[in-house]
């Protein structure tokens, strides 16, 4: 679990009784290390040993907590967006999913899944299942976003975040009705036009024209 308390991030383990960890949002050691994300090799900044020791104990093997500065961010595939950047995410900086899309999926599953299983940035209510598939350019509050492509889902979605147990769902069920080019799609990838802020409760304007 991650909470924001003033200028600190508080990280707690849901099951392990180890003490919580408090860290600053930005590392202050500035020790650079090389990390690999798919085919990209980039430079990241490593947090201090307290943070790394905490995650090593919580996860059970040696690991480091790292931060990606703006200077080393990766480019989104130019097939989908020109001169847009992404951090540690697979391919795009933003993802949107409608609550009705998840409701439709959960009706087909024996055990319902939470939205958090799909690690989306934006969730909207109302509308019909998979409305986001047909969106081109949208505005959330005062920010404009462009849809690029549906999001292909990987096996991470089959892992229960609370227990670490891996199953077959939701990929097995999604493959029966959400398969495209041998990939299972759920959610829509987005890139932002400019910079700004969005807030919980902001309205979404669909398929706007600039």
Residue entry with tokens 């976003």: 145
Q: Of 173, 39, 149, whose CA–CA distance to 95 is shortest?
A: 149
The C-alpha atoms of residue 88 and residue 111 are separated, in whole angstroms, by 30
Number of domains in the chain: 2
Query: pLDDT of 1-16, one tens digit each?
Result: 889 888 899 999 887 7
93 and 194, same domain (yes or no): yes
103 and 178, same domain (yes or no): yes
Query: pLDDT of 50-75, one tens digit each?
Result: 999 999 999 899 999 999 998 889 99
185 and 128, same domain (yes or no): yes
173 and 140, same domain (yes or no): yes
Query: pLDDT of 70-122, one tens digit each?
Result: 888 999 999 999 889 999 998 999 999 999 999 999 999 999 999 999 999 99
160 and 132, same domain (yes or no): yes
H-assigned helices in 47-98: 49-59
State the CATH number of the domain containing residue 161: 2.40.33.20
Contact by Cβ (8 Å): 19, 55: no
When computed from its CA atoms, the radius of gyration of the chain, rounded to whole angstroms, is 19
More confident residue, 202 or 48: 202
Considering the entire predicted model, what is its pTM? Answer: 0.88
Beta bridge partners of 23: 9
Beta-sheet pairing, 143-152 with 85-86: unpaired
Is position 75 within any domain? no
Q: How far is CA 8 from CA 14, 22, 26, 30, 85, in A?
A: 19, 6, 9, 18, 26
Is position 45 within any domain? yes
Q: With pLDDT > 90 as the criterion, what percentage of the chain qualifies?
A: 79
90 and 53, same domain (yes or no): no
Is position 13 within any domain? yes
Beta-sheet pairing, 94-98 with 122-124: parallel
pLDDT of amino acid 177: 98
């Amino acid at each position: 679990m991650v909470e924001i308390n003033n200028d600190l991030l508080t990280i707690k383990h849901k099951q392990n009784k180890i003490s919580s960890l408090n860290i600053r949002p930005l590392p202050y050691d500035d020790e650079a290390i090389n990390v690999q994300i798919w085919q990209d090799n980039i430079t990241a900044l490593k947090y201090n040993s307290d943070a790394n020791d905490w995650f090593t104990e919580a996860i059970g093997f040696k690991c480091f907590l790292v931060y990606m500065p703006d200077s080393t961010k990766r480019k989104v595939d130019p097939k989908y967006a020109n001169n847009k950047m992404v951090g540690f995410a697979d391919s795009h900086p933003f993802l949107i999913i409608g609550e009705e899309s998840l409701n439709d999926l959960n009706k087909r599953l024996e055990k319902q899944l939470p939205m958090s299983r799909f690690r989306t940035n934006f969730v909207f209510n109302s509308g019909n299942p998979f409305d986001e598939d047909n969106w081109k350019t949208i505005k959330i509050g005062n920010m404009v976003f462009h849809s690029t492509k549906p999001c292909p889902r990987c096996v991470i979605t089959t892992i229960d975040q609370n227990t670490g147990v891996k199953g077959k769902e939701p990929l097995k069920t999604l493959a029966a009705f959400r398969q495209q080019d041998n990939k299972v799609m759920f959610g829509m990838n987005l890139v932002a036009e400019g910079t700004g802020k969005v807030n919980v409760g902001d309205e979404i304007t669909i398929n706007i024209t600039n």
